[in-house]
A and B are shown apart, each in its own frame.
Chain A
Amino acid sequence: MVDRELGDKIPTFGDSQDKGDQSVGLTNLSAFKGGEARSALEIAAIIAVAVVIVGGAELLLRVFEVPQFVLPPPSAILTALVVDFPFIAPHLGHTLIELFAGYAIGASIGLVLAALITQVPFAEKIIAPYILMLVTTPMLALVPLLILRFGFGYEPRIIAVALASGPMVMINAATGFRRVDLAKIALARSFGANTIQIFMKIRVPMALPMIIVGLMIGAIFGLLTAVGAEMVGGGFGLGNRLTTYSATIQMPQFFAVILILSTLGILIYVTFFLIGKKWAGWES
Chain B
Amino acid sequence: MDAGVTPTEEARVKLAVRGATKYYDTKSGPLHALDNYSMDVNEGEFTCVVGPSGCGKTTLLWSVAGLHSLTSGDVLLDGEHVRGPHPQIGMVFQEANLLPWRNLTRNIQLPFEIKRRQTDQEHIDHLLERVGLAGFGNKFPRELSGGMQQRAAIVRALSFNPSVLLMDEPFGALDAFTRDEMNLLVEEIWLETRKTIVFITHNITEAVFLSDRVFVMSARPGRLAKVFDISFPRPRSLDLLATREVFELVNEIKAEIQHTPSAATAAAALEMADG
Contacts and interface: CB of A to CB of B under 8 A. Distances in A.
A1 B69 CA distance: 6
A10 B59 contact: yes
B110 A188 contact: yes
A66 to B, nearest CB: 53
B113 A201 contact: yes
Given A186-B93, A189-B67, A3 B114 contact: no
A3 B110 contact: no
Contact of A13 (B66, B83, B94): B94
Contacts, number: 83
Contact of B87 (A3, A187, A192, A202): A192
Contacts of B114: 188, 191-193, 197, 201
A184 B110 CA distance: 12
Interface in A178-195: 183-184, 186-193
B62 interface: yes
Given A10-B33, A14-B97, 9 more contacts: A13-B95, A186-B93, A190-B65, A190-B85, A191-B110, A191-B111, A191-B114, A193-B85, A206-B101
Interface of A: 1-3, 6, 8-11, 13-14, 183-184, 186-193, 197, 201-202, 205-206, 208, 282-283
Interface of B: 24-26, 31, 33, 58-59, 62, 65-69, 83-85, 87, 89-91, 93-95, 97, 99-101, 110-111, 113-115, 140, 142, 160
Given A190-B65, A191-B114, A201-B110, A183 B101 contact: no
Contacts of B33: 10
A8 B25 contact: yes
Contact of A189 (B24, B85, B99, B101): B85
B101 A190 contact: no
A186 B91 CA distance: 10
Contacts of A190: 65-67, 85, 89-91
A282 B100 contact: yes
B97 A183 contact: yes
Contacts of B66: 190
Nearest to B23: A8
A2 B66 CA distance: 10
A257 to B, nearest CB: 41
Nearest to B24: A10
Nearest to A1: B69
A8 B113 CA distance: 26
B69 A2 contact: yes
B190 to A, nearest CB: 20
Nearest to A190: B91
A224 B89 CA distance: 54
25 contacts: A3-B68, A3-B69, A6-B67, A9-B24, A11-B58, A13-B94, A13-B95, A13-B97, A184-B97, A186-B62, A187-B93, A188-B110, A189-B67, A190-B89, A190-B90, A191-B160, A192-B84, A192-B115, A193-B114, A201-B110, A201-B113, A202-B99, A205-B99, A282-B100, A282-B140
B68 A14 contact: no
B139 to A, nearest CB: 12
